[in-house]
Amino acid sequence: MNNMPAILVLAPLLGAFFACLAAWIQKQLSYYIALAAMAVSCFAAVSVLTDVITSGTMQYRMAGWAPPMGIELRIDLLNAMVLVLISAIAFVNLVASVKNVEQEISDRAPSFYVMYLLFVVGLLGVTATGDLFNLYVLIEITSLTSYTLIALGDKDRAPLAALNYIFIGVIGASFYLLGVGYLYITTGSLNMADVAVILKGIQGSSAVLTAFILCILGVWIKMALFPLHVWLPNAYAFAPVGFARVVAPLMTKVMVYVMVRLMVTVFGLEYIFETLNLADAVVWLAVTAILAGAFTALFQKDLKKMLAYIIVCEIGYMVGGAWLGNSLGMTGAILHILNDGLMTFALFLAVGNIIYMRRQTAFSDLSGLFAAMPWTMAGFVLAGLSIIGVPPTCGFFSKWYLVLGAFEAGAYHFAAALIISSLVCAVLFFKVFEICFFEADSGAGDHNPAKVITEAPVSMLASLGLVSVAIIAAGIYAGTIVDTIILPFLQ
Amino acid sequence: MSDILPLIVAKYNFWLYIILMMIGLYAMIAKNNLMKKLVGMNIFQTAIILFYVSIGYKHGATIPIIQGGHGGHSAHDAVIHAADYINPLPHVLMLTAIVVSVATFGVAMALCVRIYQRYQTLEEDELRMRVSERITHE
């Protein structure tokens, strides 16, 4: 039996345990253990992805118990792709953020790495599991670790932001748990594949409808779909940057994955789009989310806050695409999970570099950045263009599928929202570029500040470079990704 | 009205958990003190735990331990009717959920301590005032 799916999730878990012990011997050790654990996990994820592409869905029985009694890791094309995304981003971020962690929370560095690994365990587990209750537990592991990590940030405001996140996060997870309860009452099973088979016979049941609404509502709260997004901007803006870099691209995207999984695998698209009459309302909700996120981002005066609202806007893209009810929209939404993860990661990597050199990210502190940090800004511009949707960056292709899907479904308001938000994003990013490029560096009092290059350390730049290459590559190979991963999954 | 009453009585566990849940939600939304909000959160989670516990119950059933125990012949000889035993699975699930809710409560209280140390208050309106004061001072 191929043990890679288990290694994938267990490597960071064991790593967290040993990193915790190693901190007693020497603080620096916990970082290297974290790095090694993530490298193992990353390797396992890639090997699982290649296996799944060549030989189809992988089922791993935890401890040898057969489903539906036992807990099963079930990895098909969709979650194999998301698993690679998670483990790769978490690994690269460890390399990139070690200096940020030293600068911001040097006294707590070992606890940071332990919690970081547990956070990644949660994300990987959520993605890999084939069991509904297991999914809840892993969502809570992810959330609990993110509460603690966010609280490590800004001393004045991070604890308050984290506490607000707890209140809303608990409501979200509880709704999901309640939905699972209703599913259990009606089907008597918790295994996703098993539940899906039983649900086919009882689609008219109002208990199933309740279960569906509760589960989806819970996941929406966790993914910060407007108007349930209020916790996100503060939580992400005040988190330590080493964590913001990984939570911003991954947390919301994994929740989108959970939504897609519930829709496609558990409840079935047929049930959602033919029996229920909710799709139009949800697409409208996504339209509001896109517009509200984009326009609120316009009023922000801090780079991190602005990016946080862009995430709210991007969530609207994915939810809307998934609910359009055709395979183009779903393809766009799934492709956007990958692309948005990469783009947001690149943006936050650049923000982390800026914070490392300047400590501040208010717009007034960004002047002269192009001259001072040319490589960081090059990465930032590339990721910004990708968010706007300029080819050949990957952001263009997922948007293309989403727009095509919107036209096919006749959801012109969704297509319009996509285009308007792209324009607003263009305004947003060019505003930042303008500040960084044209306004001379006011501070420091140097004679010729524009000439002084104060670039971030090589490890951070290399990570940003790698992700920038990935953004272009994901754009160029978008067709291959769709043909080998997404379309076979949807059939 | 005469239709609703039997419905309420027959499914009283559902009504009870919804009432408890709403009490918790009300406290989380309306209370000004962070500790009270936390207590509301706990009630909210407990309501769901009670819901799960109640769905495992069957009329006239007993605890799910088979008479005769391990390796005993009686367990294999006698036919076991699932209807005679309470469904243990939801109860076992709730052990995990209880652990999760205790952990969440612990983290939340630790954050409250941090907030109190920093601002000397847990009242939300005062907190909001002091946070904004700090920003204008800087």
Look up the ipTM and state it.
Answer: 0.89
Question: Looking at chain A, which residue has its C-alpha nearest residue B102?
Answer: A144
What per-residue confidence (pLDDT) applies to A97?
87
Q: What is the pLDDT of residue B1?
A: 56
Tokens 């539940």 appear where? A195
Interface of B with A in 50-69 (CB under 8 A): 51-52, 55
CB contact under 8 A, B111 and A166: yes
Q: Hey, where are the domains in chain A?
A: 277-491
Of B48, B96, B107, the CB nearest to A147: B107
A174 closest CB neighbour out of B37, B48, B131: B48
CB contact under 8 A, B111 and A163: yes
What six digits make up the tokens of B120?
């000397």
Which of these, A20, A32, A21, A35, lies nearest to A87 by C-alpha position?
A35
Beta bridge partners of A302: A362
Which pLDDT tens digit goes with each residue over A192-217?
A: 988 988 888 887 788 889 999 999 99
Of A155, A159, A181, the CB nearest to B55: A181
Of A143, A156, A162, the CB nearest to B118: A156
Chain A interface test: which of B111, B112, B138 (most A C-beta within 10 Å): B111
Q: Which of these ranges, A153-162, A226-235, A437-446, has the smallest mean pLDDT?
A: A437-446
The predicted pLDDT at position A56 comes to 84
In sign, the C-alpha dihedral spanning A272, A275, A279, A281 is: negative
Q: Which of A144, A159, A162 sits opposite B103 (nearest CB)?
A: A144
Supply the pLDDT for residue A47.
92
Judged by phi (left if over 0) then psi (alpha if -120 to 50, else beta), residue A64 lies in left
Please report the pLDDT score of residue A93 as a whole number. 92
What Cα–Cα distance (Å) separates residue A218 from each residue in A54, A105, A205, A214, B127? 35, 33, 20, 6, 28
Which residues from A are below 8 Å from B34, CB to CB? 163
- The closest alpha carbon to A323, from A275, A262, A263, belongs to A263
Neighbour-count burial of A392, counting CB atoms closer than 10 A to its CB (0-12 exposed, 13-18 middle, 19+ buried): middle
Domains of chain B: 4-64+80-137 (1.10.287.3510)
Task: Please tell me the distance from the alpha carbon of residue A165 to that of residue A229, in angstroms, as a whole number.
Answer: 10
For residue B59, pLDDT beyond 50: yes
Q: How many residues comprise chain B? A: 138
Token reading at A146: 């993110």
Residues from chain A contacting residue B134 (CB–CB below 8 Å): 156
Average model confidence (pLDDT) across chain A: 88
Q: What is the mean pLDDT of residues B23-31?
A: 92
pLDDT at B49 over 80: yes
Q: Which residues pair with A191 in a beta bridge?
A: A131
Least CB–CB distance from A163: residue in B34, B51, B96: B34
Q: Is the pLDDT of residue B138 over 70?
A: no
- Please list every residue in chain B whose beta carbon sits closer than 8 Å to the beta carbon of residue A147: 104, 107-108, 111
Is the pLDDT confidence value at A346 over 70?
Answer: yes
Q: What is the pLDDT of residue A228?
A: 84
Chain A residues touching residue B106 (CB < 8 angstroms)? none
User: Across the interface, which of B90, B96, B115 has its CB nearest the CB of A159?
Assistant: B115
Q: What is the pLDDT of residue B97?
A: 92
The residue among A52 and A371 whose pLDDT is bigger is A52
Q: Please indicate if any CB of chain A lies within 8 Å of the CB of B11.
A: no
Q: Is the CB of A185 less than 8 angstroms away from the CB of B107?
A: no
Confidence of residue B6 (pLDDT cuts 50, 70, 90): confident
pLDDT at A445 over 50: no
Residue pairs between chains A and B whose CB atoms are closer than 8 Å: 69
CB distance B134–A156 less than 8 Å?
A: yes
Among A343, A322, A344, CA closest to A333: A322
* Chain A contact residues (CB < 8 Å to B): 133, 136-137, 140, 143-144, 147-148, 151, 155-157, 159-160, 162-163, 166-167, 170-171, 174, 177-178, 181, 184-185
Distance separating alpha carbons of residues A467 and A104, to the nearest angstrom: 23
> How close does chain B come to A174, measured CA to CA in Å?
7
How many other C-beta atoms are found inside a 10 Å radius of the C-beta of residue A487? 15
Pull the structure tokens for residue A46.
């890639």
Say if the Cβ atoms of B114 and A159 lie within 8 Å: yes
Mean pLDDT value across residues B45-63 = 88
Of A70-79, A268-277, A305-314, least confident by mean pLDDT is A268-277
What angle (nearest 5°) sits at the alpha carbon of residue A89, between those of residues A1 and A360?
160
CA-based radius of gyration for chain B: 23
Rounded mean pLDDT, A37-66 = 89
Is B97 an 8 Å CB contact of chain A? yes
Closest CA to A364 of A432, A427, A412: A432
Q: Which pair of structure tokens corresponds to residue A446?
A: 């140097």
Instruction: Please determine, for residue A45, whether its predicted confidence score (pLDDT) is greater than 90.
Output: yes
Q: What percent of chain B has pLDDT over 70?
A: 86
Q: How far is CA A327 from CA A271, A316, A402, A486, in A?
A: 15, 17, 10, 10
- Of A344, A176, A158, nearest to A251 by C-alpha is A344
Residue A286 makes CB contacts below 8 A (sequence gap 6+) with: A225, A316, A317, A319, A320, A321, A323, A414, A417
Q: What is the mean pLDDT of chain B?
A: 84
Query: Among partner residues A144, A155, A159, which is closest to B104 by beta-carbon distance?
Result: A144
**Chain B residues lying within 8 Å of A151, measured CB to CB:** 111, 114
Q: Is pLDDT at A151 greater than 70 in this prediction?
A: yes
Chain A residues with CB under 8 Å of B37 CB are 167
* pLDDT at A424 (0 to 100): 92
pLDDT tens sequence across A349-372: 999 888 888 888 888 778 878 888
What is the distance between the alpha carbons of residues B108 and B35, in angstroms, rounded to a whole number?
9
What's the pLDDT score for residue A357? 85
Question: For residue A128, what pLDDT band results from cuts at 50, 70 and 90?
Answer: very high
Is the pLDDT score of A452 beyond 80? no
Percent of chain A residues past pLDDT 90, beyond the cut: 46
For residue A77, the surrounding DSSP H or E stretch is: helix A77-105
Q: A125 and A134 in contact (C-beta within 8 Å)?
A: yes
Burial A39-61 (b: 16+ CB within 10 A, else e): bbbbbbbbbbbebbeeeeebebb
Give the tens place of pLDDT for each residue, B62-92.
888 876 655 555 545 567 777 788 888 888 9
Residues of chain A with pLDDT > 70, as a percent, come to 97
CB-CB contact of A348 with A248 (8 Å)? yes
Alpha helices in B1-138 (DSSP H): 4-10, 12-30, 34-55, 73-77, 89-119, 124-137
| Listed range (A329-333, A434-438, A463-467) with the worst mean pLDDT | A434-438
